[in-house]
Structure 1
């Protein structure tokens, strides 16, 4: 299986040229594991129309079961987020131990240092969120002191240091126009890309849309947003037209009430936000660009600022709960920054 994941396919079927990328290797490994699991008969692949993944097969201890229930009932997190926390927790909990009454600040820092050594920056941030959340749960159960949460060391970072990746003006529309509407898949993918580009929806929000979320009379669409926050968003003309065309000519017959479903059998809803992100990633790859669904959201915010909209307006469109989250986009507004720039003392350029 390892040899298959890394091999350079020369059979003429694969569309990738050259050695497989890290993303392609990950796809091969995941799909091969599912197929081998099916052949061995160890477990089923589908249950109630949902794909059973390796994450779903995670063996949970008693403390992890209680933690999962706490995340759902006290934090109000979605199952996908809870699974992400549990999957990360399983990696380092054996080092920390399951008896929270024995935790110490030195032990917490030691586990954090060991995890930082083998993780990327993004994974380090994920670990910090994961261990702080778990320690908060232990405090809730009265097993440890709340001061332990502050014992977690943080990676060095700078506020608003990153510049969000975005597309150049006009590229979003070219990408959308390049999608063929002669197939059901093309009609679906085009409607998804229009929603990403014009409404700035997140991948998970697109995947959770249902037929009942559409209000054609009021020209609105209900968004089941991040953290379970719902919002009513105006439906633009192009996004409404794209959805109508998909429903009329592209959406297969299905018992699922989700708006976007898989075009290949079984015709069920997407299993994870990554499926929406992959649609965006493939569309971008046709133009030699890298990125996923979120790059369209960044592009929308940038274009709104360039057209003269305020930060508050952009925060409203993106449905940010804090204006500080939106402030990162001020760094990509070149027109505004040029007005703030101080002239060079020598008088040159």
Structure 2
């Protein structure tokens, strides 16, 4: 039986992607780069016939991607996963096309992407951000109330703009949020947020409401209709820039900060889970990694023998 060079299979696979699958040029280029690296790995492993590739070569290649070598630096988990997807596609193509008897990459799974830790702002930055909207004018009063509510409750922006007037109980200082999957949760709201809401509801919302046709929405835009998620995100972004906070701001910035500051203050992770509306405590535990990183930094700089 003649030798089946791996390079021939790679060429045929890339042609198949380009011609029959209509794969985008950028994707083809990245697959070609990854598969060239795979070819070099097989060559160094002494595999000349593509039909002789086993699962151990495929997993070995995955490990090599993460470790790096003399020529290539180690790849991040996301890049290594992309390269393994290309290799899995290559072997699947060869098997389905009858070039190989089996698919050695079938059971090989790309590495799970590393958890991206949520970015929380320091308390001083949050306080500066909340103080940005002036205390006069319809839109500034609305923006101040919106930002205070987001930080005080940990609400998602979509949950905040979805609030109706009846969802806020100013006497009990609670807010009823409609979370993911139609699940509602009642969360407490701090006094500064209640005061900002009072100012908005008394001095700003009635003026904005006159421009619309009547709506129960809590937060209104300049036309007197419900504020959109995009507009609320723009409020957060604009005021963060005005406060000099240019990096690490996302629609969830105040939600992340709410969770992190609660845990740093000693709150139980399951209480924070309830407040955030997470279905699983595992999701909330990502924030404990953030606070642990902070503890490590403080420990490393404060303990006399931390570096010993």
TM-score of Structure 1 vs Structure 2, range by shorter chain: 0.5 to 0.7
Aligned counterpart in structure 2 of residue 258 of structure 1, from 208, 211, 217:
217
Mapped to 2, the partners of 1:199 and 1:338 lie a distance apart of: 28
Shift, 1:219, TM fit = 2.5
Which consecutive residues of structure 2, in runs of 5 or more, have no partner in the other structure?
A: 1-15, 31-77, 79-105
Question: Does 2:161 correspond to 1:207?
Answer: yes
Match of 2:134 in 1: 180
Equivalent residues of 1:278, 1:292 under 8 A apart: no
Change (3 A) 1:339 1:213: same
Q: How does 1:288-307 map to 2 (within 5 A)?
A: 288-290=245-247, 291-307=249-265
Match of 1:329 in 2: 287
Mapped to 2, the partners of 1:157 and 1:222 lie a distance apart of: 36
SS state at 1:170 partner: helix
Q: How does 1:115-264 map to 2 (within 5 A)?
A: 117=27, 157-160=112-115, 162-251=116-205, 252-253=208-209, 254=212, 255-263=214-222
Q: CA RMSD in A?
A: 3.5
Change (3 A) 1:115 1:176: farther
Equivalent residues of 1:205, 1:223 under 8 A apart: yes
Equivalent residues of 1:196, 1:293 under 8 A apart: no
Number of equivalences:
205
Mapped to 2, the partners of 1:187 and 1:112 lie a distance apart of: 52
Q: TM-score, normalised by structure 2?
A: 0.58
SS state at 1:205 partner: helix
Match of 1:315 in 2: 273
SS state at 2:186 partner: strand
Shift, 1:292, TM fit = 2.9
Mapped to 2, the partners of 1:245 and 1:175 lie a distance apart of: 18
Mapped to 2, the partners of 1:155 and 1:115 lie a distance apart of: 23
Question: Does 2:179 correspond to 1:269?
Answer: no
Equivalent residues of 2:152, 2:189 under 8 A apart: no
Which consecutive residues of structure 1, in runs of 5 or more, have no partner in the other structure?
A: 1-105, 122-150
Residue-by-residue CA offset, 1:56-78 (whole Å, 9 max, x unaligned):
xxxxxxxxxxxxxxxxxxxxxxx
Residue-by-residue CA offset, 1:286-312 (whole Å, 9 max, x unaligned):
114242331111111111121122322
